[in-house]
């Protein structure tokens, strides 16, 4: 065998090894890609379920928030009135420079101890 034949044989062997390596890499990559596709499909199903749940939750929240506001509107009006009065009083105190007396704290009640 001369040098040229040896060179051709070695290059054919290298080509065969490269082809085998490429096939193995393609198979491994294809397997990983299939697994990734399966995971993404699972995520898509989960996202679809979550989107549906989100829209249902929004409907329920709107319904109950509307009912809450309707039922508690007198409470909100009273709270708004009290806060407005407090704000006016505070502003009045700040503009006139007078300090308002702080309400006195209640004395703590002493609990009667049971005699044993």
Task: Return the pLDDT at 3.
Answer: 83
The predicted-structure confidence for 66-84, as pLDDT tens digits, reads as follows: 888 888 888 888 989 999 9
Phi then psi dihedrals of residue 114, to 5 deg: -80, 135
C-alpha to C-alpha distances, 56 to 34, 45, 49, 61, 65, nearest whole angstrom: 33, 17, 11, 9, 14
CA 83 – CA 80 distance, rounded (Å):
5
Stretch among 39-43, 84-88, 102-106 having the lowest mean pLDDT? 102-106
Q: What angle do CA 93, 85, 82 make, to 5 degrees?
A: 140
Task: Return the pLDDT at 34.
Answer: 92
């Amino acid at each position: 065998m001369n040098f040229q034949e040896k060179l051709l044989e070695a290059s054919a062997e290298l080509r065969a090894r490269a082809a085998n390596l490429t096939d193995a890499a393609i198979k491994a990559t294809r397997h990983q890609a299939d697994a990734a596709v399966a995971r993404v499909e699972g995520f898509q199903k989960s996202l679809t379920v979550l989107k549906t749940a989100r829209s249902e939750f929004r409907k329920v929240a709107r319904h109950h928030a509307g009912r809450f506001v309707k039922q508690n509107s007198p409470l909100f009006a009273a709270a708004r009135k009290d806060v407005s009065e407090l704000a006016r009083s505070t502003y009045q105190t700040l503009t006139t420079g007078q300090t308002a007396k702080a309400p006195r704290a209640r004395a703590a009640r002493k609990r009667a101890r049971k005699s044993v």
